């Protein structure tokens, strides 16, 4: 379980398993502000620490601190999404902050910033297996974190999410979850989707539910055909061929 006493935590699990939602919920109930940084293979360390920019009034170059520096100073929580996609220079910049002294060193200004007592780091990542571009973090680096394995959301909880979060009737929620189960089975034998989003995700279900709710506001008598059409429009976007589209339909 994620705890506010942990200074640095990695949540690892499949896409749409609720990793980020878990942290944002915990931050909300403990009244902490969250800053989110999305990582990719071309993430620049300047996005974390800052860079020199021209001053609008004087035209001189001034150092503008990055979002991580702001979070360290003010005691915000920071979510580092897709940590195992970040370049090595970004990981190196985090090393000193993850040490026992919990300090952030800004090379450009030679400033050392002591982390605020309420500052916390939460990183999320997908497993390296089956997700392109992810690299295995070194054991020395991972040992600086508490590692939490996050599993897929159970089917019964998916139903509850659609009913309570998305305010769908239980009958519709049950059918949508059943579609998800069927597509996952089909994908395992027919390779329905490709790439990192190679399976129908919880995010797809929420998007589908959102479109159904939007339609309900403009038409009180939304039929199951309408629900099916919205699902097709959401799920068929990534289909590779007509056979797959026919199965989704």
Same-domain pairing of 19 and 142: yes
Same-domain pairing of 94 and 132: yes
Same-domain pairing of 128 and 28: yes
Q: Which of 78-82, 173-177, 219-223, 237-241 has the lowest mean pLDDT?
A: 219-223
| Mean pLDDT value across the chain | 86
Q: Taking residues 5-10, what's their average pLDDT?
A: 85
**pLDDT higher than threshold 80 for residue 193:** no
Same-domain pairing of 190 and 139: no
Q: Which of 9-13, 211-215, 245-249 has the lowest mean pLDDT?
A: 211-215
pLDDT band per the 50, 70, 90 thresholds, residue 222: low
Same-domain pairing of 122 and 173: no
Contact between residue 118 and residue 7 where contact means Cβ atoms under 8 Å apart:
no
Asked whether residue 1 is assigned to any structural domain, the reply reads no
| pLDDT for 124 | 95
Indicate left, alpha or beta for 130 from its phi (over 0: left) and psi (-120 to 50: alpha).
left
Tell me the pLDDT tens digit for each residue of 14-44: 887 889 989 999 999 999 999 999 998 889 9
Same-domain pairing of 117 and 215: no
| pLDDT for 197 | 43
Is residue 80 helix, strand or coil?
A: strand
Greatest pairwise CA separation for the chain in angstroms: 64
pLDDT band per the 50, 70, 90 thresholds, residue 196: very low
**pLDDT higher than threshold 80 for residue 189:** no
| pLDDT for 248 | 86
Q: Write down how long the chain is.
A: 249
Same-domain pairing of 159 and 194: yes
Q: Are strands 103-106 and 111-114 parallel, antiparallel or unpaired?
A: antiparallel
Asked whether residue 125 is assigned to any structural domain, the reply reads yes
Asked whether residue 3 is assigned to any structural domain, the reply reads no
Asked whether residue 207 is assigned to any structural domain, the reply reads yes
pLDDT band per the 50, 70, 90 thresholds, residue 128: confident
Distances (CA, A) of 211 to 166, 167, 205, 208, 229: 10, 12, 10, 5, 10
Chain centroid, CA 53 distance in Å: 30
Distances (CA, A) of 34 to 29, 120, 145, 247: 12, 9, 18, 41
Contact between residue 118 and residue 71 where contact means Cβ atoms under 8 Å apart:
no
Helices (H), 75-201: 88-98, 139-142, 155-164, 170-190
pTM score: 0.77
| pLDDT for 194 | 47
Q: pLDDT: is 222 or 194 the higher one?
A: 222
Q: Where are the beta strands (DSSP E) in 20-136?
A: 34-38, 50-54, 61-65, 77-81, 103-106, 111-114, 120-125
| End-to-end Cα distance, the chain | 39
> Which of the listed residues 132, 149, 166 is the one where a domain comes to its end?
149
Domain count within the chain: 2
**pLDDT higher than threshold 60 for residue 51:** yes
What range defines the domain where residue 69 resides? 8-149
> Which of the listed residues 133, 149, 165 is the one where a domain comes to its end?
149
């Amino acid at each position: 379980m994620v705890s506010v006493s942990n200074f640095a935590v990695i949540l690892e699990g499949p896409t749409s398993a609720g990793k980020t939602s878990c942290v944002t919920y915990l931050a909300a109930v403990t009244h902490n502000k969250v800053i989110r940084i999305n990582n990719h293979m071309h993430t620049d360390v300047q996005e974390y620490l800052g860079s020199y920019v021209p001053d609008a009034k004087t035209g001189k170059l001034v150092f503008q601190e990055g979002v991580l520096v702001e979070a360290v100073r003010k005691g915000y929580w920071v979510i580092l999404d897709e940590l195992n996609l970040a370049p090595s220079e970004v990981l190196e910049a985090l090393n000193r902050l993850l040490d026992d002294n919990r300090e952030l060193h800004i090379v450009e200004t030679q400033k050392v910033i002591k982390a605020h007592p309420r500052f916390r780091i939460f990183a999320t990542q997908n497993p390296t297996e089956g997700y392109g571009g992810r690299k295995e973090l070194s054991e020395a680096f991972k040992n600086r974190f508490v590692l939490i394995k996050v599993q897929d959301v159970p089917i019964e909880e998916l139903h509850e999410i659609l009913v309570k979060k998305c305010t769908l009737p239980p009958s519709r929620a049950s059918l949508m979850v059943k579609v998800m189960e069927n597509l996952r089975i089909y994908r395992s034998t027919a390779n329905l989707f490709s790439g990192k989003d190679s399976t129908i995700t919880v995010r797809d279900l929420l998007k589908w539910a959102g479109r159904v709710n939007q339609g309900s506001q403009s038409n009180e008598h939304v039929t199951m055909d309408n629900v099916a059409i919205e699902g097709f429009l959401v799920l068929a976007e990534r289909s590779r061929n007509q056979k797959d589209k026919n199965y989704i339909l």
